[in-house]
Amino acid sequence: MKVLTVAQMRQAEAAADAAGHTYARMMERAGHAVASEIMRRMSVQGRRILVLVGPGNNGGDGLTAARFLKEAGAEVACYLLRPREETDPVFQGAKAAGCFIAQAADDRTWRVLRLWVRSAAVIIDALLGTGTTRPLEGDLLRMLQIVRAEVSDRRPWPVSFFAPGPPFTPSAWPPRTPPEPWLVAVDGPTGMNYDTGELDPHAFHADLTVTFAHPKVGHFRFPAAHAVGELAVADIGIEAKWVPEGAFEVMDVATARTWCPPRPSDAHKNTFGKVAVVAGSINYPGAPWLAAQAAARVGAGWVTLAIPRAIYPVLAAKTTEITYILLPDELGVLTPDAVEVLARAVEGYAAMVLGPGLTQEKEAIAFVHGMFGLERAMRRGRIGFHVEEEEAVKPAAPSFTWPPLIVDADGLNALAQAKDWAARLPGPAILTPHPGEMARLTGLEKAAIEQDRLGIARQFAQSWGHVVVLKGAFTVVAAPDGRALVMPFANPAMATAGTGDVLAGAIAGLRAQGLPPFEAAALGAYLHGLAGERARQEIGAAGVTAGDLIPRLPGALRALSGTG
């Protein structure tokens, strides 16, 4: 499923219309889809439904949905912001179906609007669509203010509501008492910018958004993403050949299922690969454990912790399934001497995680630089820290190739302090930065990265020659060849320390089982997100810890196979 800009969506619609799949047919299917998505979640028989109708195609979609809902037995009112031509076929269709029609021009005290908002079970926002970016003002603003006030009076919680379950998986709405209306947006809430993700402060937040053919970039950008609620993507007959090249894609269940590694009956532990996790320090002994457990839980056959000798007793007492490589350390932090020991020990491993919990002590940085023959960048300013000239160390690169790499956390922070790290790093490696780490690697401001997560991830994956997993709400996975996927998860339960370590380990476990770098990164991110959704549903949006994801990874894998 592609993620389109407004311009790309217009191109696709124009190509469809030119090929004979007319705008009228697309509108008919769009309106039917809105009605169908509502009816999948509730019985509309005898229920009052209010459709707020704008002057353009978005309003036409709303009028078409009103017709289908009326025919299904709902009591439907269409409240028009502007009068529509009497000859407009969608307007005539709604009238002929028996929908009640009211116009703002005839309701100057807004009495009719208030009465319908107070009694409606569902309110459909079909006022403005993808092509409008102007500020909300005039009658439009007043209409939204009235709706927002009336709805807030009726609902015991704020208008903002994030529906349970992962996006793109329509689910039954939780039961509500009749006075509480559901808010449904056609394409997106009025006041949303579909390219930038900006949101007018007067926009109300939807419980469900039904968009057409493909989601838009703005659906995955905040603050607008907060207002989308559950996102359903409806087919309106636009074929793939009409979609412009270069669009991003959303990771979906079908794609994830095709990438799951096989599990042959005659397998043994070496069939599924060996993972080394080079991580940890006296201050962060949990990070290596999280990564190692995640690698095992996604199916790696053999997992080894390569850790500072000082933290071995802690980890050995915590787990019995993991093997160990004990590395030289100084006060619980890896030292450059560890490079040679590690090099001798990891030959034959299929994947290696580098970085979680190493710290940014100069000894740990020198260890990472020594692995790849990197030279310290002199007085190189980065977001959050500065490197002093006297901290420079002489590189001591090994004479062999490291296993396929997944570089995370302090591994990335160490790379950010080196010259020419992207060219020296054997690849294609998989880099898993959060926005702050991405800022250090690129020299860009964190705000600039957040503003264009999809574009930044793709740009630097191509320029570095490595796969980039830009973490956060709607994680982006980008490959050097230009492929890019956005994950359909924005989960506040995942905003807790250690979840990135789990992600790095999951990706490594899949890489060890033979998946190519991009596929391993994307499937790992999807499983990680799906495990997080399960944790949120079972535990809640607050109180989930990184360790809660680990036992849910096998269930996420099983769900993709259709057996759990």
Bridge partners (DSSP) of residue 277 are 305, 353
Q: Enumerate the domain spans of the chain.
A: 2-249, 254-560
pLDDT of residue 276: 98
Task: Note the CATH number of domain 2-249.
Answer: 3.40.50.10260
Q: Scanning the structure block, which residue is given the tokens 């901290």?
A: 391
DSSP 163-222: -SS-TT---PPPP--TTS-EEEEESS-TTB-TTT--B-TTPPPPSEEEEESS-BGGGGST
Report how far residue 429's alpha carbon sits from residue 406's, in angstroms, rounded to the nearest whole number.
6
HSE at residue 266, side-chain half, CA atoms within 13 A, is 0
- State residue 399's pLDDT score: 52
Q: What pLDDT, on the 0 to 100 scale, is given for residue 152? A: 78
pLDDT at 389: 41
Burial-class residue 46 by CB neighbours within 10 Å (0-12, 13-18, 19+).
exposed
**pTM of this prediction?**
0.86
Whether the Cβ atoms of residue 189 and residue 151 lie closer than 8 Å to each other: no
Contact 344/315 with Cβ under 8 angstroms?
A: no
What is the pLDDT tens value at each position of the chain, 564 positions in all? Answer: 899 999 999 999 999 999 999 999 999 999 999 999 999 999 999 999 999 999 999 999 999 999 999 999 999 999 999 999 989 999 999 999 999 999 999 998 899 999 999 999 999 999 999 877 778 999 999 999 999 888 877 654 333 333 333 444 444 444 444 457 899 999 999 999 999 999 999 998 999 999 999 999 999 999 999 999 999 999 999 999 999 887 889 999 999 999 999 988 898 888 899 999 999 999 999 999 999 999 999 999 999 999 999 999 999 998 888 999 999 999 999 999 999 999 999 999 999 999 999 999 999 999 999 999 887 664 334 333 344 443 444 445 455 689 999 999 999 999 999 989 999 999 899 999 999 999 999 999 999 999 899 999 999 999 999 999 999 999 999 999 999 999 999 999 999 999 999 999 999 999 999 999 999 999 999 999 999 999 999 999 999 999 999 999 999 999 987 654
CB 356 within 8 A of CB 500: yes
Residue with tokens 């990564």, as numbered in its chain: 291
Structure tokens at 321: 């399934």
* 186 in Cβ contact with 65 (< 8 Å): yes
Here the tokens at position 200 are 């007018």
- 500 within 8 A of 408, measured Cβ to Cβ: yes
Dihedral-angle region of residue 283 (phi above 0 means left; psi in -120 to 50 means alpha; beta otherwise): alpha
Count other Cβ atoms within 10 Å, centred on residue 379: 9
DSSP 316-333: HHH-SS-EEEEE-EETTE
**Both structure tokens of 242:** 């009409």
383, 440 Cβ separation under 8 angstroms: yes
* Closest of 354, 463, 367, 467 to residue 376, by C-alpha: 367
Which of 395, 335, 380, 399 minimizes the C-alpha distance to 361?
335
Give the C-alpha distances (Å, rounded to integers) separating 238 from 6, 11, 92, 113, 234.
15, 11, 26, 35, 10
Q: Which of 166, 66, 86 shows the shortest CA–CA distance to 126?
A: 66
What's the DSSP call for residue 83? -
Cis peptide before 166 (omega within 30 of 0): no
Backbone φ/ψ region at 155: left (φ over 0), alpha (ψ -120 to 50), beta: beta
SS3 content of the chain, % helix, strand, coil (to 5): 45, 15, 40
What one-character DSSP code corresponds to residue 418? B
Identify the bridge partners of residue 49 per DSSP, sorted by sequence position.
Answer: 76, 122
What pLDDT does 180 receive? 75
> CA-CA distance, 467 to 447, in Å (whole number)?
22
- In the CATH hierarchy, which top-level class contains the domain 254-560? alpha beta
Is 254-560 the same fold as 2-249? no
- The residues near 114 (Cβ < 8 Å, ≥ 6 apart) are 146, 150
Long-range contacts of 442-451 (CB under 8 A, 24+ apart): 443/382, 443/383, 445/383, 446/383, 451/196
Asked if residues 475 and 451 have their Cβ atoms less than 8 Å apart, the reply is no
